Structure formats: structure tokens, C-alpha cells
Amino acid sequence: MKKTGLIITIILLGLGQLVVAQNVLDKNNYENKDKDAKNKNRSVEVFRDRLLIDVYQSFWLGMPSNVSSMKFNPGINTSILWDIKRGPKSPFSFGIGGGVMYHTQNSDAILGYDNPTGNTVYKIITYTDSINTCRLNMVSLYLPLEFRYRHSSGFKVSVGARLGYILNLNQRYDGQDLTGRDQNVNFTNYQIFNKINYHFDFYARIGWKGLDLFYSYQLTKLFVDGKGPQIAPMSIGITISPF
């Protein structure tokens, strides 16, 4: 887990340097001149969506009917993108870069390996009153590509797609011993089998200046077809873009 955190930190620092470089090199987008005789600088175009922080609630589609997926499944994405405008005065641009995604899924079931079939299955925890935490965690790195429209008033819309690689998939459990003993246990299971190592999503944002509504839908499933539950997250939340 420490190695994963180090990789994510290095990648984000590298992408951050690209954003700084764009601020320096892309002078045409920052120093547009008025057409009046005084030739005064217009206000700086600050909100270019170079740094994007998505905070959202995930709804897991395809969950087995006997598994209770809890109502609160928070997640967060952090993206750093290069904003490529079609022209200095054009309202259209493309965004490309990289990011980190974190999904959660809280439920009343443990993901386990079924030896006879070789499948990954949910195993229901019968004593749900004794569960403090039963959470699936997914961390991935992704490459986003998005098409953007930005009006001079601050209104903006973007649609995009992203391809990601799942760095870590684990499930944390804190509660009564699963063997039935009268004691509490706390562990994280990193051996989740039959997972798909990549994901592909579509997403959209609509908002004003530095704040957007955010929606995403993952097309790929979390597990191999026929080898695990065919689940995928759909997320709704907000995006903050300070610059």
C-alpha cells in the first residue's frame, strides 16, 4: 500500500509540473487584449479546469439481490489536465492528462473465493449488528480525455472518457469474528481473485466557474464475466476546480 501511495504521489507531482508549464507558455490565453484604444488587459481567465477534484457518491449496479449495499459509498478523484484551446478566443477546448480514482462499496457481505467453482462470490454476514466496517476499496490511475465548452460568463460543460488501471482492490472488515467466536477482528483482504485490472468510464460535468455537478458511469465490470459478480459503479457528485 505504501508503494502504491508513492507511485501516485510521483505521478501527480509530474502532472503538476505540466500544469505550471502551461501557465507559463500559454500566454495568449492569459493576456488577451481589449480592442479599445487603451489596450488594457482583460481579466485573467482563471478557471481553465487544469486541476479537478471530484467528490461523489457511488451506486453499485449489478449487485446480487441478497447483498445489501449500504447507502453511503463516498469516493474521490483528483485529475490534472492540460487544457488545449482551439484558438485564443475559442470557447472550445480539449483536456488531457492523468488522475487518481478512489471508489468505496459498503455492504453486509465479504468477497471470498469459492474453491469448487473458482469464482469470486459475496458471502453474507448473518450478524450484521456486529459489523463496524465492511468496505471494498478500489484505487486506480487513469488517463482522461474530455471535450469542453466554456462561455465567457463562466458557464461550462464537458464530456469525456477515461481509461484506467486498477492499482489496488481490497476489502476491509471490522466486526465480529467470521468463524463465530465471541471476539472482534479487524483485517484487510488484498487477495481478491478474478478482478479485471482495467476500467473504462464515460463522464460529464456542468457548472459555473470553479464548481460543477459531476456524473460518471463505468462501462467495464469489476470482475471477469462468469467468474465474479458483474458489478460496476455509477457516481454522482460535485467537482471543484480552483484553476
CA contacts within 13 A on the Cβ side of 57: 5
State the pTM of this model.
0.84
Helices (H), the chain: 2-25
pLDDT at residue 88 tops 90 = no
Measured CA to CA, the distance from residue 114 to residue 99 in angstroms comes to 34
Confidence (pLDDT) at 40: 46
Backbone angles phi, psi at 191, to 5 degrees: -100, 75
pLDDT at 4: 56
Beta bridge partners of 200: 163
* CA separation for the pair 231, 223 (Å, rounded): 7
> Rounded CA gap, 81 and 126, in Å?
46
Rounded average pLDDT over 135-143: 97
**Rounded to whole angstroms, how far apart are CA atoms 25 and 32?**
14
Instruction: Classify each residue of 180-217 as buried b or exposed e, where b means 16 or more C-beta atoms within 10 Å of its C-beta.
Output: eeeeeeeeeeeebebbbeebebebebebeebebebbbe
- The fraction of the chain above a pLDDT of 70, given in percent, is 80
Contact 103, 58 (CB under 8 A): yes
> What integer is the mean pLDDT of 2-20?
54
Which of the pair, 42 or 177, is modelled with greater confidence? 177
pLDDT value at residue 169 = 97
pLDDT at residue number 151: 93
Higher pLDDT, 46 or 102: 102
The average pLDDT across 9-27 equals 52
